[in-house]
């Protein structure tokens, strides 16, 4: 099958192991564009060995990095994957159908299946997860947020049926580091929008977050990984509330 005229865009930082798994199956796309944040492992060498074009820029936050890379894609259509994600043939075929459509949408939302600690997570607030990852280069950008920025477009957004698969867990130390980093970014986003935090928010909001995810969103059915996900989400929310308060007091994160 002839490769699709699409740029596969992959943000990376020290993703050598993930690229070894991902890139051999990405022959369906005419361009692989890796935007690397100056990895100090073999990420760049491995990417180039599979024919990827590598551009590098110091990392600020995800939306900033992606918005810098998007205009540098060679093709009108971009399919964005993180290095810890992968796709199966059904989704690749569905992407081909979008290209064949005479009046496609500007962007497409894609369901995502998540894995944590070696287990597929079906609940814990992660059910119905989806991400906009197939979009037109010249009419789409990410909103300027440090965390969980969404694609902005004036055109219509469609939805595909087949999922992206996502292994969000490397090890527990990495999970703790990621929650700490994300809570700092979220706190800055909240402060930028005028939010403040007090003792009541620190006490009650994390507790309700755990109750909501573990019982109302059925994290209890995901076993030990589900309990850990829900507890980590509550802890991250607690850290965010503390950091919002401390930022207003002049502390840096």
The end-to-end CA distance of the chain, in Å, is: 49
Computed over every residue of the chain, the mean pLDDT equals 97
pLDDT at 234: 98
Residues with Cβ within 8 Å of residue 96, at least 6 apart in sequence: 4, 28
User: What is the mean pLDDT of the segment spanning 187-205?
Assistant: 96
Domain count, the chain: 2
Does one domain contain both 189 and 152?
Answer: no
Does one domain contain both 112 and 146?
Answer: yes
pLDDT digits (tens, 9 = 90+) for 114-152: 999 999 999 999 999 999 999 999 999 999 999 999 999
Domain that holds residue 123: 4-167
CATH code for the domain in which residue 39 is found = 3.90.550.10
Does one domain contain both 159 and 180?
Answer: no
pLDDT digits (tens, 9 = 90+) for 56-107: 999 999 999 999 999 999 999 999 999 999 999 999 999 999 999 999 999 9
User: What is the mean pLDDT of the segment spanning 17-43?
Assistant: 97
Element at 205 (helix H, strand E): helix 199-211
Asked whether residue 253 is domain-assigned, the answer is: no
Segments of 151-196 assigned E as strands = 151-153, 157-159, 164-167
Does one domain contain both 163 and 218?
Answer: no
Residues with Cβ within 8 Å of residue 16, at least 6 apart in sequence: 39, 41, 42, 43, 46
Last-in-domain residue among 167, 189, 207: 167
Does one domain contain both 91 and 190?
Answer: no
User: What is the mean pLDDT of the segment spanning 235-249?
Assistant: 98
Last-in-domain residue among 109, 137, 167: 167
Last-in-domain residue among 167, 194, 220: 167
């Amino acid at each position: 099958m002839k490769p699709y005229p699409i740029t596969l865009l992959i943000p990376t930082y020290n993703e050598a192991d993930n690229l070894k798994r991902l890139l051999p199956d990405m022959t369906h796309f005419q361009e692989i564009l890796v935007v690397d944040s100056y990895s100090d492992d073999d990420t760049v060498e491995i990417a180039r060995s599979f024919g990827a074009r590598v551009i590098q820029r110091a990392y600020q936050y995800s939306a900033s990095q992606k918005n810098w890379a998007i205009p540098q894609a060679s093709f009108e259509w971009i399919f964005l994957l993180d290095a810890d994600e992968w796709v199966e043939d059904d989704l690749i075929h569905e992407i081909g159908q979008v290209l064949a459509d005479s009046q496609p949408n500007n962007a497409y939302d894609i369901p995502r299946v998540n894995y944590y600690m070696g287990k597929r997570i079906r609940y814990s607030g992660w059910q119905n997860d989806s991400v906009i990852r197939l979009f037109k280069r010249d009419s789409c950008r990410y909103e300027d947020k440090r965390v969980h920025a969404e694609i902005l477009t004036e055109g219509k957004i469609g939805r595909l049926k087949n999922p992206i698969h996502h292994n969000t867990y490397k090890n527990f130390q990495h999970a703790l580091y990621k929650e700490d980093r994300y809570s700092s970014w979220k706190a800055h986003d909240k402060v930028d929008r005028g939010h403040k935090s007090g003792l009541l928010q620190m006490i009650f909001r994390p507790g309700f977050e755990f109750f909501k995810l573990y019982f109302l969103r059925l994290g209890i059915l995901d076993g030990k990984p589900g309990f850990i996900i829900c507890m980590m989400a509550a802890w991250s929310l607690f850290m965010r509330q503390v950091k919002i308060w401390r930022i207003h007091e002049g502390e840096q994160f």
